[in-house]
């Protein structure tokens, strides 16, 4: 299906602005203090900049920015803004759909404390398309995922689960009618994702998320 990514970005930006206004926050702040490269954080920073959405970055200087427009040192945004417990700011979690559904994987404790998780409706492939709209060079980082899984693998597994409930269904995947139709590699992948789902399925409850279905 072909989507109008410009409209999707516009609607997403409007939703973020409304969240700040309706909940009495002044601006967004980052709920991550990682020094490792995190393209989802970089994407969020660029997106907020492009749409003039308030974020706690006043103290950043030219040394923190790359290429002048988008991209930045994500650790600097967190470390120099010193914002994590400031109630005036809405802490924003950069976890995307590949990390959350269906494996519900948190790779940093502070994600659990975020005010809002705005990217749980988008896959890496979606962010790549949205990045084109905001002129951002999005390069996925598979270090974000457990068990040496890749974003592509997790997206494929999620789509299979949406269509056939192969992972989150009431039975073990091997008892699903679709099971024998998968290759050996695919079955191994599904089994690995299913194991993570069982381990983490109670995570990610009572978190504020954005319903991205209304954007497409």
Contact 10, 18 (CB under 8 A): no
Report the predicted TM-score, pTM, of the whole model to 2 decimal places: 0.79
63-116 pLDDT per residue, tens: 443 433 333 444 444 444 444 445 578 888 888 888 877 776 655 555 666 788
pLDDT at 95: 83
**How many Cα neighbours within 13 Å face the side chain of 195?**
9
End-to-end Cα separation, the chain, in angstroms: 10
Residue appearing with tokens 């693998």: 153
Highest mean pLDDT among 144-148, 172-176, 199-203: 172-176
10-64 pLDDT per residue, tens: 999 999 999 999 999 998 887 655 555 678 888 998 999 999 999 876 444 334 4
pLDDT at 69: 37
């Amino acid at each position: 299906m072909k989507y109008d990514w410009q409209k999707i970005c516009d609607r997403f930006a409007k939703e973020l602005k409304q969240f700040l206004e309706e909940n009495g926050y002044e601006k967004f702040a980052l709920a991550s203090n990682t020094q490792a490269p995190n393209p989802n954080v970089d994407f969020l920073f660029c997106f907020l900049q492009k749409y003039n959405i308030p974020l706690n970055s006043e103290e950043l200087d030219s040394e923190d920015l790359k290429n002048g427009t988008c991209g930045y040192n994500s650790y600097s945004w967190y470390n120099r803004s010193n914002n994590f417990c400031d109630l005036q700011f809405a802490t924003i979690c950069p976890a995307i759909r590949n990390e959350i559904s269906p494996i519900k994987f948190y790779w940093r404790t502070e994600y659990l404390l975020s005010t809002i998780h705005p990217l749980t409706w988008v896959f890496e492939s979606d962010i790549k398309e949205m990045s084109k709209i905001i002129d951002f060079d999005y390069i996925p980082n598979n270090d974000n995922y457990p068990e040496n899984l890749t974003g592509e693998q997790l997206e494929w597994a999620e789509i299979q689960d949406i269509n056939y409930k192969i992972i989150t269904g009431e039975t073990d995947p091997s008892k699903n009618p679709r099971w024998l139709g998968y290759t050996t590699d695919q079955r191994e992948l599904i089994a690995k994702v299913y194991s993570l789902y069982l381990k983490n399925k109670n995570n990610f409850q009572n978190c504020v998320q954005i319903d991205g279905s209304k954007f497409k």
